[in-house]
Amino acid sequence: MPLVPLNGVRLHLDVTGPDDGPLAVLVMGTGSRGRVWNLHQVPALVRAGYRVATFDNRGIAPSDECATGFTIDDMVADTAAVIEHLGGGPAAVIGTSLGARITQELALARPDLVRCAVALAAHARIDPVGRTLSAGERALHDAGTSLPATYQAAIAAHLNLSPATMRNEVAVQDWLDLFEMGGPGVTPGVRAQLALSENVDRRAAYAAIRVPVLAVGFADDRLIAPWLAAEVAAIVPGARHGEIPDCGHVGYLERPDAVNAVILEFLAGAAQPDAVQAAHSRA
C-alpha cells in the first residue's frame, strides 16, 4: 500500500488476509521495517484467518523519519491511528522489543482498541547494559563514525542470536551475510528511536493495564534480558508469561514455529468473551 497520512505523519502500511478476518496489528522494534514480519508471523496469522496489518514505524523510511525526534507517545498514537484507519478494532496487537513497549503502552492508553496484546522481548524498563549500549550507538552516530560492515555484522550476530545458532557454522554464516546486507545502520530516524530507551521505568504504570497480555522473553536475549519479560507478566494483572528457549533477540526469526505457536494459542484463548471480560474486570 502507499504511504498513508495518519497522526500527522505518513506511515507505510500493508494489510494482508481476509477482509472479514479479526484484525491483528504487528509492531516492529528499533531500526527494523515492518516487512520483517512477512517472513514468518504474517503467513501464520493469515492461515489462522486474521487480517494482518504491518507498518514501518515513524523513524523508518519510507515512513516519515521525523529525524528531529519524537516520543513513545507519538509512536503509540501512530499504532492507534493504524487500528482506527482499518476499522477501529479492537485488534490483537503484537510487538517486539521497542514494538513490545509500544504495544504495552497502547494497551494502557487505549484499551478500547486492544483486544489482547502480545509483547515479545517484553520489558517495563531498560537495564543498565541496554541503556549503555543505546547511548554508545547514539554517540557513534553523532560523531559521524561508520564501522566496517563486516564488524557490524559480527556485533549484530553476538547481540541478536542464541548460542544454539552460533554453534551452527552454516546457519551463522547465513545470518552474518544477512546482517552485513542489512541496510544503512543508524539513520537519523533510527537515532531518534534509540533515544527512547533513555531512563525508562514503567513498572508502576503497567499495573493498571486491564487487557489480556502475553509477555514473552527469549531465553538467550542479550539486548532485553528474559527476566524483564517475566517482570512485566508479574506486574500486569492476570498476564501470561512465556519464555522461548534457544533464541536471542530476534527469536521470532530464529525459532518462528515456537514463537508463532505461543502467539496463536494466546490469541485463540483471548478471543473467548469470558477471557476478555475477566481482564477488564480485574481490580
pLDDT at 9: 97
Mean pLDDT computed over 177-184: 83
For all residues of the chain together, what is the average pLDDT?
A: 93
Range in 138-147, 148-157, 179-188 with the lowest mean pLDDT: 179-188
32 as an active site residue: the answer is no
What is the mean predicted confidence (pLDDT) over 170-177?
94
Residue 1's pLDDT is what? 63
What is the pLDDT at residue 272?
58
Strands laid side by side in the 23-27 sheet = 3-6, 9-16, 51-55, 23-27, 91-96, 114-120, 213-218, 240-244
- The label of the residue with cell 499504532 reads 79
* Reported CATH class of domain 3-127+200-281: alpha beta
User: Residue 33's CB: how many other CB atoms inside 10 A?
Assistant: 18
The pLDDT of residue 23: 97
Q: For the chain, what are the domain ranges? A: 3-127+200-281
Side-chain-side CA neighbours of 74 within 13 Å: the count stands at: 16
Active site residue 127: no
pLDDT tens for each residue of 68-100: 999 999 999 999 999 999 998 899 999 999 999
Banded model confidence at residue 57, pLDDT cuts 50, 70, 90: very high
Closest CA to 91 of 107, 102, 105, 75: 107
Q: Which of 30-44, 57-71, 230-244, 259-273 has the lowest mean pLDDT?
A: 259-273
Q: Which of 180-194, 210-224, 237-251 has the least mean pLDDT?
A: 180-194
Which residue out of 12, 123, 241, 249 is catalytically annotated? Answer: 249
| Residues 23-34 pLDDT 10s | 999 999 999 999
The answer to whether the beta carbons of residues 77 and 106 sit under 8 Å apart is no
Report which of residues 88 and 111 the model is more confident about: 111
Q: What is the mean pLDDT of residues 149-173?
A: 95
Tell me: pLDDT of 146 over 60: yes
Taking residues 168-184, what's their average pLDDT? Answer: 89
CB 246 within 8 A of CB 162: yes
pTM score of the predicted model:
0.94
Please indicate whether residue 40 is annotated as part of the active site.
no
Write out pLDDT tens, residues 1-53.
689 999 999 999 999 999 999 999 999 999 999 999 999 999 999 999 999 99
Span 187-198, average pLDDT: 91
Single out the catalytic residue among 64, 78, 221, 241. 221
Measuring CA to CA, how many Å separate 30 from each of 101, 154, 230, 262?
A: 11, 18, 21, 23
Instruction: Answer for the pair 192, 70: CB distance below 8 angstroms, yes or no.
Output: yes
Catalytic residue among 97, 134, 162, 197: 97
